[in-house]
């Protein structure tokens, strides 16, 4: 069985609560004796999962990133396929609410987008298999557990996938700085997918051409763009406001 490492308290706690069968072994930095450590080690004991107190150097050697004093070896999570998602959309009673990230290559930004997507109730995050960040340990740590709750789907041909969900009635709203309409003029009710492009370059041409509507975020200051994870949060929660109303 393939194995991967996760780190950070939120990421490990999310697996412990939602997918405990994946846990294989846990290492915790020496010197920590707070309630959080006792709660986690108690739960691990209940599951029969081995854990060990080690020096920080050993954790630093296992992973690269701010591990916060905890690292876990877990069995690799099942990756959702395009067919899995399309099948779920066809059978779900809820109108689809999706996030598409085209060309987001920074794992920190991907993790932040996953965390926001979870908070907003997004049903899946979709990325192209090429030129996109994946759920690395860093992305999972930044996601604070959202990587274990929000389906993450990598598609071979993003343009083809967008055509397929349009055929299922999903309205594609893309973001572009030069768009005439603003975020607040878009209608996020019903089946919808928000499409975000990479910082600087934005969406690729084919992705842009498949969008039903292009919008921009009104900028009142001297800065002409936002970090992609911040822009994603702004757009998703305008969608949440509308969908709750």
> Is 226 labeled as ligand-binding?
yes
Helices (H), the chain: 9-18, 35-47, 56-62, 82-91, 107-120, 137-143, 158-167, 205-210, 228-244
Please tell me the pTM assigned to this model.
0.86
* Dihedral (CA of 179, 185, 187, 188) sign: positive
> Is 217 labeled as ligand-binding?
yes
What domains lie within the chain, and their CATH numbers? 3-75 (3.30.1330.30), 82-244 (3.40.1280.10)
Q: What is the pLDDT along the chain (245 residues), one digit of tens a residue?
A: 578 899 999 889 989 988 899 999 999 999 877 888 999 999 999 999 999 999 999 999 998 888 999 999 999 877 889 999 999 888 888 899 999 999 999 999 999 999 999 999 999 999 999 989 999 889 999 998 898 889 999 999 999 999 999 999 999 999 998 899 999 999 999 999 999 998 778 899 999 999 999 999 998 888 877 899 999 999 999 999 999 97
> Is 197 labeled as ligand-binding?
yes
38: DSSP letter: H
């Amino acid at each position: 069985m393939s194995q991967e490492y996760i780190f950070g308290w939120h990421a490990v706690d999310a697996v412990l609560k939602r997918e405990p069968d994946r846990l294989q072994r846990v290492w915790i930095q020496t010197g920590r004796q707070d309630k959080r450590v006792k709660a986690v080690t108690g739960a691990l004991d209940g599951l029969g999962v081995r854990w060990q107190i080690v020096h920080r150097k050993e954790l630093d050697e296992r992973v690269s990133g701010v591990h916060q004093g905890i690292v876990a070896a877990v069995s690799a999570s099942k990756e959702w396929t395009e067919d899995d998602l399309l099948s779920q959309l066809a059978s779900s009673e809820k109108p689809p609410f999706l996030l598409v990230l085209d060309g987001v290559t920074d794992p920190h930004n991907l993790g932040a987008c996953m965390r926001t997507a979870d908070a907003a109730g997004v049903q899946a995050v979709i990325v192209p298999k090429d030129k996109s960040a994946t759920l690395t340990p860093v992305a999972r740590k930044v996601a604070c557990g959202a990587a274990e709750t929000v389906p993450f789907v990598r598609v071979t041909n993003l343009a083809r996938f967008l055509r397929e969900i349009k055929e299922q009635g999903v309205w594609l709203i893309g973001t572009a700085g030069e768009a005439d309409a603003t975020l607040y003029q878009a209608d996020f009710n019903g089946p919808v997918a928000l499409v975000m492009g990479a910082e600087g370059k934005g969406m690729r041409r084919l992705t842009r051409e498949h969008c039903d509507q292009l919008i921009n975020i009104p900028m009142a200051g001297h800065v002409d763009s936002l970090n992609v994870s911040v822009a994603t949060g702004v757009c998703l929660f305008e969608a949440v406001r509308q969908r709750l109303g």
